[in-house]
Amino acid sequence: MDRKTVGKEITRRHRNDSSNMKPILQPDGDSHRDKNEQGSHSKQDNSESGASQDSTTSIVSRPHGTSGFSGTSGAAGASGAFGTNEASGASEAAGAFGAFGAFGAFGAFGALGSSGTSGTAGASGAFGTNEASGDYGGGGAFGALGSSGTSGAAGASGGFGTSEASGASEAARAFGAIEASGFSGTKDARVRQVERNEVVFAEGASSCCRLDELKQLAECDSTLGDLTFSKTHTVLVDVSAFNHGGRILPQPGNDMWNSSFVKMPCSPGSVITKTPSRKVLRWKLISKQLKGLAEKKSVHVHEVVDAIVSYNPTYKGQWSFDALLKFVEKIPSSENYFSTLFPKIAALALRLPDEVQKAIPLLRTGHAAAITLSQYQISCLLANAFFCTFPHRNASGPNAEYHNYPTINFSSLFGHWSDQKKEKLRAIMHYFKTVTDKKPQGLVTFERRCLQDADKPSWKRTETLQKLHVTASGSIENEGTGMLQVDFASSWIGGGVLSSGLVQEEILFLIYPELIVSRLFTEKLADNECLIVTGSQQFSFYSGFRENFEWAGPFEDTLERDKWRRLKRQILAIDALNFRHSREQYSLRNIERELNKAYCGFQRREVNEPDIATGKWGCGAFKGDKQLKALIQLMAAAKAQKGLAFFTFGDEELVRDLKQIYHLLVKQRITVDKLYRLLLDYCAVLKQCGSHVDLFGFIGNAIKPVRNQL
């Protein structure tokens, strides 16, 4: 639409009754974003991506007073009334529709007669001018002209079409606006407007469902056939013996010593150079040390340390075993069974060549693939991690062979002492005690999923929001058992489980220790990837979080098993972006990255799949906005056609707010595409505001009928 047409249309509508207004500019499809842009861990984008700017220098040829409207827009630093422009000659549009600053930047208007919003981040539909240029592609959020009758950017103007002189559109509640930002009108007038046009969140009203209304894995009709392998699914047990007799035997195979497979400690390729002309098989040295320990009834912790150092001579004097030594020293005698457990762990580690005969492929970045192995094979691998036997896995520099993989040897866990290390070791020692007392009999599958560009969903298409259960009590791993349980992961799977980290992901890896083996073969997750683990067993109870975490005793897992003898438990590892500054998350690029990351894990592969158990994903040290992350997961679940159980971990305020906004979204029939556009509008407003704007309040103001319209 050209400049003259826009100007005439504004003039015409200005003279008509505001209740008859309809959109002047419609959202312009994909013009507001670069389809090739993707989020990144290594390089954060703290700008609003995809700004689409028009060269038009003026929207309105002449200001138009207040004819047909009793409200004023109150430009901050400009002269207030609609169409009045005395502050600057640079643009006739300055002051029109409300402005942020003297030049009318980003007047946040709105849906112009519709229930959605027409502005997009730096794109079409926005009628605020952009500084002195007067561009009408400038990113306004527009708040519902002809609908709620309120508008106004955060800290800017509004009240376009209202009966008060204020222009403050629910400043404190909906937009988080600051009085000092230049609202016109008196404080009393603003208060009266908020009272008359207040967004009504019905107390007690809820569209949320009960937890038992959500689907669990045990309720899903299984379409699982016989256990089979393929080019993308490696099975480390004999499928014929398993399918026909239910026996779990190792799959015969060959060792592979190359960059596509795990380099095993028992591989002929793993050698130690004694002299330039003499090389010794590393497994020969390892097995000698481990046999010496396994043959004893009782082993002192110093003997364990000496054994580890003997076949890792490079790290003699570098590795600290302070945590392991103090752990054994400080644990009460009633619980101190470690001297008799160490020989059993050594014997378990020695079983590796017999139990894992087929090469283990690496789950590499960009390749969708899966590995199924037995719980007993996992225990053998973890016993070797305990004794730090895996070759080429100790160096972590940028030139190291496995620099893009997590650590797997336990040397970092055995290092510097802390009370948190003590509790971690209690959980891990209990795991080894359990699997050495009784051989586990199940299978576990680790699947790396990649969301290709062609499979990324359009967030501008209509999908109805799915069921939501919100609670401050309970947890993902307990009440969420049987659902797709979300691990708030690091891109390095397992995070700091083998070092100092002790938040949600690390706790999951401690109570389900079989997850730790994923660090052996899972390369760092890319922005379009996730890891799903099916069949891991819970071995421990716990209490607390971070510095308050405590191992709370043994757990007996009684979940049903599927046809592949996997426990009916699925854990989804998706890594949120780690923001250096929290405001970085409010950009198109980063929002779409998080939407696609969540969808990668949530997406439906079969007709009958469990719903999702999640919570405040990425909202701790990663500085995520808990309201934004909740909506992102709600949108991704809607795309996947799955319900959501949201555990806030005691955050009662979030429970209340999320229930209220969800109820409003459902009652107003807000679909994913409308919610997506609202998020873009919010980002545009927030970019221009010096302080934070409450997201739920912003959305509520944009879509909820106001009291004087009810």
What is the tens place of the pLDDT at every residue in 592-607? 999 999 999 999 988 8
Listed in sequence order, the residues at least 6 apart from 656 whose beta carbon sits closer than 8 Å to its beta carbon are none
Residue 347 resides in a domain: yes
Residue 523 has pLDDT above 70, yes or no: yes
Residue 203: the pLDDT is: 61
> How far is CA 171 from its chain centroid?
30
Q: Quick one: average pLDDT of 118-122?
A: 36
Decide if pLDDT at 292 tops 50.
yes
Q: Residue 556: pLDDT above 80?
A: yes
Which pLDDT band holds residue 7 (cuts at 50, 70, 90)? very low
Is there a single domain that holds both residue 599 and residue 702? no
159: pLDDT strictly greater than 50: no
Q: What is the pLDDT of residue 142?
A: 37
Task: Tell me which of 238, 477, 487, 609 is the catalytic residue.
Answer: 487
Whether 685 shows a pLDDT value over 60: the answer reads: yes
pLDDT confidence of residue 115: 37
- Regarding whether 698 and 627 lie in a shared domain, the answer is no
Per the domain annotation, does 675 fall within a domain? no
276's CB contacts (< 8 A; 6+ apart) are: none
Q: Comparing 177-181, 495-499, 589-593, which segment has the lowest mean pLDDT?
A: 177-181
**Comparing 17-21, 441-445, 527-531, 569-573, which segment has the lowest mean pLDDT?**
17-21
> Residue 163: what pLDDT?
34
Full residue range of the structural domain in which residue 73 is found? 1-198+689-710
Identify whether 677 is part of a domain: no
- The whole-number average pLDDT for the span 76-83 is 36
Q: Say which residues have a Cβ less than 8 Å from residue 703's Cβ, sequence separation at least 6.
A: 115, 116, 144, 664, 665, 668, 670, 674, 678
Range of weakest confidence among 119-123, 623-627, 706-710: 119-123
Is 215 inside a domain boundary?
no
Q: Is residue 681 annotated as part of the catalytic site, yes or no?
A: no
Percent of the chain past pLDDT 90, that is, above it, reads 64
Whether residues 625 and 709 fall in one domain: no
**pLDDT attached to residue 274:** 77
The CATH number that applies at residue 268 is 3.40.220.10
For residues 218 and 568, give the distance between their C-alpha atoms in angstroms, rounded to a whole number: 7
**Contact in structure between 153 and 98 (CB atoms under 8 Å):** yes
Same domain, 654 and 697: no
Asked if residue 271 and residue 191 are part of one domain, the reply reads no
Mean pLDDT, rounded, of the chain: 78
d(CA 66, CA 63): 9
Using the predicted structure, report yes or no on whether residue 310 has a pLDDT greater than 50: yes
Selecting among 54, 506, 657, 694, the annotated active-site residue is 506
| Structure-model confidence comparison of residues 278 and 533, the more confident one | 533
Residue 204's pLDDT band, with cuts at 50, 70 and 90, is low
Catalytic residue, from 131, 505, 529, 657: name it.
505
Residue type, 333: S
What integer pLDDT is reported at residue 687 of this predicted model?
Answer: 87
* Residues linked to residue 612 through DSSP beta bridges, in sequence order: 484, 644
CB 14 within 8 A of CB 69: yes
What confidence score (pLDDT) does residue 646 get? 99
Confidence of residue 705 (pLDDT cuts 50, 70, 90): low
Do 659 and 693 have their domain in common?
no
Residues 697 and 650 in one domain: no
Is 2 a known active-site residue? no
Which is more confidently placed, 224 or 10? Answer: 224
Which pLDDT tens digit goes with each residue over 462-484?
A: 899 999 999 999 999 999 999 99
Residue 214 within any structural domain of the chain: no
Is 478 among the domain residues?
A: yes
| Model pLDDT for residues 569-582, shown as the tens digit of each residue | 999 999 999 999 99
Percent of the chain surpassing pLDDT 70 = 70
Quick one: 379 and 334 in the same domain?
yes
In this predicted structure, what is the pLDDT of residue 519? 99
What integer is the mean pLDDT of 549-567? 96
Q: 355 lies in a domain? A: yes
pLDDT attached to residue 85: 36
pLDDT of 49: 33
Do 406 and 521 lie in one domain? The reply is: yes
pLDDT at res. 105: 35
pLDDT on residue 220: 83
Same domain, 652 and 701: no
- Mean of pLDDT values over 527-543: 98
Q: Give yes or no: residues 478 and 380 share one domain.
A: yes
At 674 the pLDDT is 97
Kindly state whether residue 206 falls inside one of the protein's structural domains.
Answer: no
Total number of domains constituting the chain: 2
pLDDT value of position 201? 56
Q: In what order do the strands lie in the sheet containing 529-534?
A: 233-235, 369-374, 443-450, 529-534, 570-575, 484-489, 612-615, 644-647, 468-471
Question: Residue 169 — pLDDT band, cuts 50, 70, 90?
Answer: very low
DSSP code per residue over 51-91? --------S-SS--TTTT-------TTS--STT---S-SS-
pTM more than 0.85: no
Mean pLDDT across the stretch 300-311? 98
What CA–CA distance (Å, rounded) separates 158 from 551? Answer: 55
Same domain, yes or no: 36 and 111: yes
| Catalytic residue check, 92 | no
Q: What is the mean pLDDT of residues 145-164?
A: 36
* Residue that is written with structure tokens 């400038």 in the block: 138
